[in-house]
């Protein structure tokens, strides 16, 4: 698990980047920075949306601290079959077949033969976007 997580300075965190909040990989959607106080450093409040469950999480840390970030890999896959809540995908490079849950965003939009982009972090996979409908 050590090579699946890296350390990033809070100053380098930007909207759209992925960080770990409460052990959950989240995409940063909002950053608020408070001014330094009389007895302390500036604080950063980072709001993120979970990659896999879509839950909203908030992190409050000093701006000079380090935060953990997951190592994200993006792969292309082809939809083999679509069920009610899961889609069976085949990796375009390794031809490995696996299942991923279908989020509300992709409900009713996937069919066999569709090329999709899959993001993987910390041993879990999720649909990122549909690339083509064949």
Per-residue pLDDT in tens (0 to 9) along the chain, 134 residues:
456 889 999 989 999 999 999 989 999 999 999 988 787 888 999 999 998 888 999 999 998 899 999 999 999 999 999 888 889 999 989 999 999 988 878 888 888 888 999 999 888 898 888 887 65
Question: Which fold would CATH assign to domain 2-70?
Answer: SH3 type barrels. (2.30.30)
| Cα distances (angstroms) measured from residue 52 to each of 17, 71, 125 | 15, 15, 8
pLDDT score of 3: 66
Sign of CA dihedral 73, 76, 80, 86: positive
pTM of the model: 0.77
Architecture of domain 73-132: Beta Barrel (2.40)
pLDDT score of 134: 55
**What's the chain's Rg over C-alpha atoms?**
18
- CATH 2.40.50.140 residue ranges for the chain: 73-132
pLDDT score of 78: 92
- CATH 2.30.30.30 residue ranges for the chain: 2-70
């Amino acid at each position: 698990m050590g090579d699946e997580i890296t350390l990033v300075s809070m100053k380098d965190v930007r909207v759209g980047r992925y960080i770990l909040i409460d052990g959950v990989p989240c995409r940063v959607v909002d950053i608020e920075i408070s001014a330094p106080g009389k007895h302390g450093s500036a604080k950063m409040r980072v709001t993120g949306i979970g990659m896999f469950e879509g839950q909203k999480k908030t992190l409050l840390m000093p701006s000079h601290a380090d935060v953990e970030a997951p190592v994200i890999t993006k792969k292309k896959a082809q939809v083999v079959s679509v069920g009610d809540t899961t889609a069976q995908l085949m990796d375009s490079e390794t031809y490995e077949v696996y299942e991923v849950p279908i989020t509300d965003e992709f409900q009713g939009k996937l069919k066999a033969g569709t090329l999709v982009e899959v993001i993987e972090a910390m041993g879990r996979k999720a649909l990122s976007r549909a690339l083509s409908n064949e």
